Amino acid sequence: MDIRDLLLDVASTYDWEKGISKGVHAQDRLREVKHAWGDLVPGGFEAEGQGGSGGASKTPWIGVYDPDITRDPKRGLYLAYIFAADFSTVTLTLQQGVTWLADALGEGEKRRVYLRGRAQALFDGLPKDLVAGYEDAPDFKCDALRARSYEAGSVAARPYGLDAMPSEHHLREDLWHMAEVLQRAAAVETTLKDEETPEGVKATSGAAKSQPEGLNGFRPKDGSDYVAHIPARTITKSRSHELLVAGFGEYIDKQGFVPITEKMHPKDLVLRKDDVEWLVEAKSVKRGNPTKAVREALGQLSEYSYFLYEEQGHPKPHLLALFTEDIKVYAPYLEDRGIASVWKTIDGWAGSPLAVAWGMVD
C-alpha cells in the first residue's frame, strides 16, 4: 500500500455520512495504515489513520509519529496528512496537539491565537533552509473548531492537490524531510515557555534544557565486573529504537538470516546464518545528524564484542550497525574499523559494501 495510492483512494471514497463502522471502505483503509505503512515511514516512526471517533470526521487524517517525541496526537508534536473537507487537497503538516489545551483556553479563538503564536515561535527557531517550501498555511475548508485549530497549530506544511498528486518517490522524500523538521522542532520546543501578556498566553523562547548523563555511576573495574553490572544498569530503549529493530528483524528474516532478541540483553539484536553470528547495534539518527549515533554504535559494538565475546572465550562476531537513515560519509569510516552498516531508505533498506557482500542488502 503506497502512500500515494492510499491518499487518493481515501479521498475518492470518503463519505463522513457513512460513519466509521467496519465495512465502510475509506474508514477500513484508514484503519489499515497502522500495519500497512510500517515499511513506508522513516525508521523508528509509526503511522495511524484517523477517521473520527463516535462519529466520522469531515477532515480525516493520518498521523505519523516519532514515538520518542509523542505518540498522543492530543499533545506534543507530530506529522499528519490532513484532508480538506472538500477533498481538494491533502496537506502534510507538522502539527501541535490541540486537544489538551481545551480546559485552559477553550476551543475557540483564544486557543487558536495561542497555537498560531507557538507555531511561529517554533518555525522561527528552525533553520530557514530546512523549512523553505513548507511555509504554506493549510486550509482545510471546514468551520469545525478542531479543524480550525489544526490550521492554527500547523508549524510547517506542504499541501498537495488531489487532482495533481506528486509521485510516490516525491511524497516519501517530503515525508523523510519533514521527519527531520519534526525532530528539530522538538528540540526548539524544549526552549519555549508560556508567559501571560496583555494579548493572552504567549509562547516565548527561553534557555535550552540540559540533558542528564546516562552512564553516571557505571565504572567497571575489570571485564568480569563489566559483564556482571551492565545488565543491571539502566539502558533506555526508546520506542523508535524498538520499531527500528522490529522492522529490520522482519526484513532480514526474509533474507535468510535468523534474528534473535530474546535473552540477548544488553545486545540489541543477534543474527545467525550457517553457524556464523552477527552482533547488531541499532541507533536512531536524530535531526539529520548521524555523528552521535555513529559514535555510540562504534563504542558499544567494540565494547560488547570484547567483553561479551572475546573475554568470555567466544568467537568474535561480525559487527553490524543499524540506523534509521543514511549515515553517508560514516559508512566507509565504520567499514574501515570492521563494522558494516545498514539503514532505512525511502525504498526499503540499503547498506555498506560489507553488508552487501553478506547478502543483507542489494
Question: What is the domain-level CATH number for residue 351?
Answer: 3.40.1350.10
Distance (Å, rounded) from C-alpha 54 to C-alpha 319? 50
Tell whether 20 and 49 lie within a shared domain.
yes
Q: Is the pLDDT of residue 231 over 80?
A: no
Please give the share of the chain, as a percent, with pLDDT higher than 90. 78
Distance (Å, rounded) from C-alpha 51 to C-alpha 264? 40
> 237 to each of 111, 126, 137, 199, 242, how far by Cα in Å?
35, 27, 36, 42, 7
Tell me if 108 is assigned to some domain: yes
Mind listing the pLDDT tens digit for each residue in 172-207? 999 999 999 999 999 999 998 887 666 666 777 665
Which residue from 112, 122, 109, 192 is spatially nearest to 150, judged by alpha carbons? 112
Which residue from 32, 155, 157, 177 is spatially nearest to 97, judged by alpha carbons? 155
Domain-terminating residue out of 176, 205, 234: 205
Distance (Å, rounded) from C-alpha 87 to C-alpha 93? 16
Tell whether 246 and 188 lie within a shared domain.
no
- Contact predicate 75/99, CB 8 Å: yes
Straight-line distance from the first to the last Cα atom of the chain, in angstroms, rounded to the nearest whole number:
22
Q: Is the pLDDT of residue 236 over 60?
A: no
Cell triple for 98? 490541540
At 75, the amino acid letter reads R
SS3 165: coil
Tell me if 151 is assigned to some domain: yes
Range of the domain at 30: 3-205
Tell whether 23 and 131 lie within a shared domain.
yes
Domain count, the chain: 2
pLDDT for position 239: 82
Q: pTM of this prediction?
A: 0.83
